[in-house]
Amino acid sequence: MKTIIQRVSSASVSIDGNIHGRIDHGLLILICAQPQDTEAEADRLLNKLLKLRIFSDDAGKMNRSVQDVNGGLLIVSQFTLAADVWSGNRPGFSGAAEPKHAEKLYDYFIASARNAHPVVETGVFGADMKISLINDGPVTIPIEL
């Protein structure tokens, strides 16, 4: 799975002008399933994200996790993370999982996140979404498992 996470002061996702999900401080998680991904990769990714120490402690060091700071998760599917731009000028997306497989993993990831963490908001798989965020730091980290 390919993921971009951003530590945010706030973030929201809107669909057709209506806010669908919103968090205060926490993580914006842009996630892309790849053809070979399974629920095991989704589990590993969620475990990593919940424990990743990228929030500041009292000394200003990145030493706290999203769980430690009671932050929210805003999870948004984004197949364009699998873009291949090396040949030509139009990106190819053959590195992304087929929609049926990707949606199944996205739904599984969300359900698992909701079981493990108290504040989980989402986008809608396959929807045209607008994301607003205030990146805190800025801290933006790509993760591929």
Domains and CATH numbers, the chain: 7-144 (3.50.80.10)
pLDDT on residue 145: 83
Where residue 139 falls among pLDDT bands split at 50, 70, 90? very high
Note the pLDDT tens digit of each residue in 14-69.
999 999 999 999 999 999 999 999 999 999 999 999 999 999 999 999 999 999 99
For the CA atoms of 113, 119, 3, 51, the dihedral, rounded to the nearest 10 degrees, stands at -80
Catalytic: which of 3, 6, 34, 79?
79
pLDDT on residue 88: 87
Single-letter code of the amino acid located at 38: T
pTM strictly above 0.85:
yes
Catalytic: which of 38, 80, 93, 140?
80
Catalytic: which of 3, 6, 34, 78?
78
**Mean predicted confidence (pLDDT) in 91-97:** 93
47 near 40, Cβ under 8 Å? no
Three-state DSSP class for 106? helix
Question: What are the backbone angles phi and psi of residue 4, rounded to the nearest 5°?
Answer: -120, 125
